[in-house]
């Protein structure tokens, strides 16, 4: 046996997954609370003890980790127009596994700067202007940032023409210049920035967080957890070259505070005559809904879906709903142990899935023009996606999972929302995806085979 | 000198794509840095693109007769968005029915367009006026442009059919 230990230092739990490289299989997993206050090694040791009671004594030849502990990779990004470079910057940061705390557009004002100081981002990404495009706003933002005492590294990925000037303005700061996220209007180039974000995460940020005295433990951390998820899912969808992938997929990670949705699909329009609107979206796309979560963000779900839908699905009246929501807010560790909470939890899960997937999926608008009917698509057409993956505690332990996931499907009542028409549901019941993303850095074939075994039961 | 930057597109619910491609080709060949937004472009998309690319001019096309409604308020929105003084051109079949071009031109200029082009205007005409307005005409171009100067004065009707080619 050649055992490898995969560690996910989460914001709440440290999750361990052990795999055997020889048999290419999952050996076992265990959790314990993440101990950021003392040393993350403490929580790890506890989880490890729990793991070994399940698997027996294991000798690990390698230990690899990802981390979203101590707030994850907290980034602030700025761009020029909200729907163009600011969106491109945000999309780049999310795809690099960051938690985007704030996205600014246009000129940074003094209240903005005060807010940024308050946030204390770990990386600041400055963008704006196509190559040869706007200069004034981006230069003004660089000058404004130069007046702050921010310690974080800066990445500049805006108008190439003023890169030297920006470097000069921010010469007192740790600044890296990357290629523009939007070199021409509507054309995205986000990979170089993402590569740089990951380097910064590895070089400085994991150390700066002071997570552990154990040097070796920190050097095992290879990427932020959301990036590990993206890597796992891209590998699962596309295959490794030697092992076949399962094709386009959609994945939902429903958490307590936020909900992440991932899609691995090109999402091209079905009809060649469809007019495409908005920015192109990457094949591997991640969106994070900060207002949708099963405990801390219950109000966000109700605000987005409307109380009527909650009533309809849960069968509860308004008073019971507000009573139980109050209970959940007061004690986020509350598990659905009573009938009414269970009904409410079910309704909230359904609506969280529906809201988050609807926001992630593309949209088709129908126009009647003097030339006849015309369709305009923004975002990705996911109607052809046939696999939906459920991950995250709020989903994988649910007994009514299939019903909940059906809310991720295309709904004839809302025909413009391009969600999958029908799909097989795959459950990440042992929570292995982030671990396999990390493992895939060294052993992509084995990581893919284990995912196929675990999710498809091959 | 840097290339002059322009944003082009077909406004409203108009899907006439061919002329738009021809214009992109013609302007690029004439040395402009062209951002082509394609068809079915909203006013907001023109403005966002012009800000992000620091464009010198926005050239709006409309071929389906509804242009007069679609472009209304564009100048005001440009002013509001910090694009004060940006060159605005419009051309195509921009009104309904057969109307004397001089009147059509007057109405569109009143809406804040710097230049209004009659149906069937060859791209060379737009290119000439664009260079003239941007102050980049060469001596030879200025000389050759004397005929073009007369062009719009000869245009008599602005015609737009609602059932189109």
Contact call for A275 and B38, based on CB within 8 A? yes
The confidence score (pLDDT) of residue B144 equals 85
The confidence score (pLDDT) of residue B152 equals 62
Fold designation for A249-427: Nucleotidyltransferase; domain 5 (3.30.420)
A213 — pLDDT class (breaks 50, 70, 90)? confident
What is the token pair recorded at A327?
A: 């209970």
Alpha carbon A148 to chain centroid distance?
Answer: 29
Q: Which residue has the tokens 């409307």?
A: A306
CA distance B100 to chain A (A): 23
What is the token pair recorded at A92?
A: 């780049």
Q: Indicate whether A255 pLDDT > 60.
A: yes
Q: Name, in order, each residue with C-beta under 8 angstroms of A195's C-beta and a sequence gap of 6 or more.
A: none
A346 CB-side CA count, 13 A: 19
A420 — pLDDT class (breaks 50, 70, 90)? very high
**E strands in A34-98:** 60-67, 74-78
DSSP output for B3-71: PPEEEEEEBSS----HHHHHHHHHHHHTT-EEEE--SSB-HHHHHHHHHHHT-SEEEEEE-SS-HHHHT
Radius of gyration of chain A, Cα coordinates, nearest whole angstrom: 23
Averaged pLDDT score across all residues of chain A? 92
Kind plus residue range of the DSSP H or E element containing A339:
helix A339-360
* Catalytic (active-site) positions of B: 14, 16
Kindly report, residue by residue over A45-55, the tens digit of the pLDDT.
Answer: 999 999 999 99
SS3 assignment, position B91? strand
Rounded distance between C-alpha atoms, residue A33 and residue A43, angstroms: 6
Contact call for A132 and B65, based on CB within 8 A? no
Can you tell me the ipTM of this complex? 0.80
Where exactly does CATH 3.30.420.40 map onto chain A?
1-70
Where exactly does CATH 3.40.50.280 map onto chain A?
74-205
Q: Indicate whether A68 pLDDT > 70.
A: yes
Rounded distance between C-alpha atoms, residue A119 and residue A227, angstroms: 22
Contact call for A185 and B54, based on CB within 8 A? no
Rounded distance between C-alpha atoms, residue A300 and residue A318, angstroms: 16
Residue A278: which region, alpha, beta or left (left: phi > 0; alpha: psi -120 to 50)? left
Q: Indicate whether B1 pLDDT > 60.
A: no
For residues B37, B43, B44 and B49, what is the CA-based torsion angle, rounded to 10 degrees?
40
CA angle A442, A446, A448 (to 5 degrees): 105
Q: Sign of torsion, CA A306 A312 A317 A322?
A: negative
**Domains of chain B by residue range:** 5-158
CA distance B19 to chain A (A): 15
Rounded distance between C-alpha atoms, residue A360 and residue A292, angstroms: 13
Q: Hey, what long-range contacts does A110-116 have (CB within 8 A, 24 or more apart)?
A: A113/A144, A113/A145, A113/A147, A113/A148, A116/A76, A116/A145, A116/A148, A116/A150
Decide: A440 and A231 in contact? Cβ < 8 Å.
yes
Contact call for A134 and B54, based on CB within 8 A? yes
The confidence score (pLDDT) of residue B161 equals 40
Rounded distance between C-alpha atoms, residue A433 and residue A451, angstroms: 7
Decide: B51 and B81 in contact? Cβ < 8 Å.
yes
Taking Cα atoms as reference points, which of A298, A305, A293 lies closest to residue A351? A305
User: Quick check: A83 contacting B, CB < 8 Å?
Assistant: yes
CA angle B153, B6, A129 (to 5 degrees): 160
Q: Does domain B5-158 have CATH number 3.40.50.300?
A: no
Q: Does domain A1-70 have CATH number 3.40.50.300?
A: no
Rounded distance between C-alpha atoms, residue A30 and residue A41, angstroms: 15
Chain A partners of B33 at a C-beta cutoff of 8 Å? 132
B41 — pLDDT class (breaks 50, 70, 90)? very high
Window 60-99 of B, Cβ < 8 Å to A: 64-66
Q: Indicate whether B163 pLDDT > 60.
A: no
Mean pLDDT of A97-105: 94
Percent share of chain A, pLDDT over 90: 75
Residue A449, CA distances (Å) to A25, A58, A283, A446, B157 in order: 8, 21, 22, 5, 70
Kindly report, residue by residue over A309-342, the tens digit of the pLDDT.
Answer: 999 999 999 999 998 888 887 877 777 778 888 8
Kindly report, residue by residue over A131-149, the tens digit of the pLDDT.
Answer: 999 999 999 999 999 999 9
Q: Indicate whether B78 pLDDT > 50.
A: yes
Chain B partners of A370 at a C-beta cutoff of 8 Å? 13, 64-66, 162-164
* Class level of CATH domain A74-205: alpha beta
What is the token pair recorded at A391?
A: 């991950």
The confidence score (pLDDT) of residue A96 equals 93
Decide: B63 and B40 in contact? Cβ < 8 Å.
no
Taking Cα atoms as reference points, which of A377, A391, A378 lies closest to residue A431? A391
User: Quick check: A133 contacting B, CB < 8 Å?
Assistant: yes
The confidence score (pLDDT) of residue A28 equals 94
Kindly report, residue by residue over B93-149, the tens digit of the pLDDT.
Answer: 998 888 888 899 999 999 999 999 988 889 999 999 999 999 999 999 998 888 888
B156 — pLDDT class (breaks 50, 70, 90)? low
Chain A partners of B51 at a C-beta cutoff of 8 Å? 80-81, 134
Q: Which residue has the tokens 């292995």?
A: A432
Rounded distance between C-alpha atoms, residue A418 and residue B31, angstroms: 40
Contact call for A370 and B35, based on CB within 8 A? no
């Amino acid at each position: 046996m050649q055992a490898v230990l995969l560690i996910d230092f989460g914001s709440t739990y440290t999750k361990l997954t052990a795999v055997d490289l020889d048999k290419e299989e999952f050996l076992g997993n265990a959790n314990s609370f993440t101990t950021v206050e003392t040393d993350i090694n403490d929580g790890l040791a506890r989880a490890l003890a729990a793991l070994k009671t399940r698997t027996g004594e294991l000798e690990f030849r390698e230990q690899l980790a990802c981390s979203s502990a101590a707030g994850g990779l907290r980034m602030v990004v700025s761009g020029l127009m909200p729907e163009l470079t600011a969106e491109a910057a945000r999309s780049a940061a999310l795809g690099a596994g960051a938690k985007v705390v704030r996205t600014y557009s246009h000129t940074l004002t003094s209240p903005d700067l005060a807010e940024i100081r308050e946030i204390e981002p770990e990386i600041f990404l400055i963008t704006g202007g196509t190559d040869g495009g706007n200069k004034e706003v981006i230069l003004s933002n660089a000058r404004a940032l130069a007046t702050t005492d921010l310690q974080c590294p800066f990445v500049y990925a805006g108008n190439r023409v003023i890169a030297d000037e920006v470097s000069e303005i921010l010469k007192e700061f740790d600044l890296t210049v990357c290629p523009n996220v939007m070199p021409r209007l509507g054309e995205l180039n986000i990979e170089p920035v993402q590569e740089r974000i990951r380097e910064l995460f590895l070089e400085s940020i994991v150390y700066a967080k002071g997570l552990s005295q154990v040097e070796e433990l920190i050097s095992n951390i290879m990427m932020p957890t959301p990036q590990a998820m993206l890597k796992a899912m891209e590998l699962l969808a596309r295959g490794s070259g030697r092992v076949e992938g399962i094709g386009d997929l959609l994945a939902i990670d429903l958490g307590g505070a936020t909900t992440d949705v991932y899609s691995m699909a090109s999402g091209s329009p079905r009809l060649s005559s469809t007019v495409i609107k908005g920015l192109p979206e990457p094949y591997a796309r991640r969106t994070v809904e900060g207002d949708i979560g099963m405990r801390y963000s219950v109000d966000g779900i109700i605000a987005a879906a409307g109380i009527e839908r909650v009533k309809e699905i849960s069968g509860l009246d308004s008073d019971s709903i507000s009573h139980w929501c109050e209970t959940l807010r007061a004690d986020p560790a509350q598990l659905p142990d009573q009938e009414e909470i269970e009904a409410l939890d079910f309704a909230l899960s359904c609506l969280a899935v529906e809201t988050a997937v609807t926001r992630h999926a593309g949209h088709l608008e129908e126009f009647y023009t003097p030339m006849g009917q015309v369709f305009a698509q923004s975002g990705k057409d996911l109607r052809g996606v046939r696999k939906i993956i459920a991950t995250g505690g709020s989903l994988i332990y649910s007994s009514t999972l299939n019903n909940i996931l059906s809310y991720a499907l295309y709904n004839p009542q809302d025909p413009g929302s391009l969600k999958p028409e029908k799909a097989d549901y795959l459950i990440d019941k042992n929570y292995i995806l982030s671990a396999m993303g990390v493992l895939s850095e060294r052993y992509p074939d084995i990581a893919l085979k284990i995912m196929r075994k675990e999710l498809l039961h091959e | 000198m840097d290339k002059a930057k322009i944003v082009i597109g077909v406004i409203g619910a108009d899907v006439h794509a061919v002329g738009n491609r021809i214009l992109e080709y013609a302007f690029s060949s004439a040395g402009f840095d062209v951002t082509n937004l394609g068809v079915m472009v909203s006013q907001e998309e023109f403005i966002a693109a012009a800000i992000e690319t620091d464009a010198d001019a926005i050239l709006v096309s409309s071929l389906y007769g509804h242009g007069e409604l679609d472009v209304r308020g564009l100048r005001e929105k440009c002013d509001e968005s910090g694009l004060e003084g940006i060159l605005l051109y419009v051309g195509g079949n921009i009104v309904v029915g057969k109307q004397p071009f001089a009147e059509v031109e007057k109405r569109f200029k009143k809406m804040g367009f710097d230049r209004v082009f009659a149906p069937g205007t060859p791209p060379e005409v737009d290119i000439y006026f664009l260079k003239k307005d941007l102050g980049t005409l060469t001596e030879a171009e200025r000389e050759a442009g004397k005929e073009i100067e007369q062009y719009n004065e000869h245009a008599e009707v602005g015609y737009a059919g609602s059932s189109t080619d």
